[in-house]
Chains A and B, each alone.
Chain A
Amino acid sequence: DIVMTQSPDSLAVSLGERATINCKSSQTVLYKSNKKNYLAWYQQKPGQPPKLLISWASTRESGVPDRFSGSGSGTDFTLTISSLQAEDVAIYYCQQYYDKVITFGQGTRVEIK
């Protein structure tokens, strides 16, 4: 199975500052024939199901604020929150859907400093 490793496990950022979460896959999730990265990002708040933020590594879901952006290709990916807001406190997960067996990263907890 493809192992997804996020870093850091948690981070505390001041309001209005940038938060950066990294995700590394144990093998490529870039499908050469269509040049797409099979990588998504989710946000989960306590007591709620996960919410899709970004698909295909960098495509923001409709309604997701543009302070959220995704980048990267192959095995290394980043989720950036450009200006952290109070409502962004949550756990963030990356997920690969390249392989038959889907795997998630362990999650990164984002808090306010």
Chain B
Amino acid sequence: QVKLVDSGGGVVQPGVSLTLSCAASGFSFSSYGVHWVRQAPGKGLEWVAFIRNDGSVEFYAESVKGRFTIARDNSRNTLYLHMISLRSEDSAVYYCAKDGALRVGPDYHYYMDVWGKGTTVTVSS
């Protein structure tokens, strides 16, 4: 079945780096764009970043631009989120999510039809 397993979260100090991973299975990973979405404790959903199926295009939320980098390895069916200069406001559950459709024409991306269970990042001194 279609599955995403996100991992790599932990408790880190402000200013350090961390890389999250998301292992995909049950679908043609190289055919779909994928997203990272986060949710701070008790708060709503915040989209973080997107990468196209072939890795050629990336989009970021303003709040993470320049600090976070989304990447993928289609040979390993794995998505990554490299995070540097972490701040307390980056503390959240981070979810990877699959784009809900194959990209058509000029569309940037789509809704998210499959989500990982989430990995928790806590930035605290």
Contacts and interface: CB of A to CB of B under 8 A. Distances in A.
Contacts of B35: 102
Interface stretch (A19-27, A48-56, A76-84): A48-56
B59 A100 contact: yes
Interface of B: 35, 37, 44-47, 50, 59, 61-62, 95, 97, 100, 108-113, 115-118
A10 to B, nearest CB: 13
Contacts, number: 62
A50 B45 contact: yes
- By secondary structure, the A interface counts as loop
Contacts of A103: 47
In the A-B complex, list the 7 residue pairs whose CB atoms are closest, starting with the nearest.
A40-B111, A49-B115, A102-B47, A55-B111, A104-B45, A107-B44, A100-B59
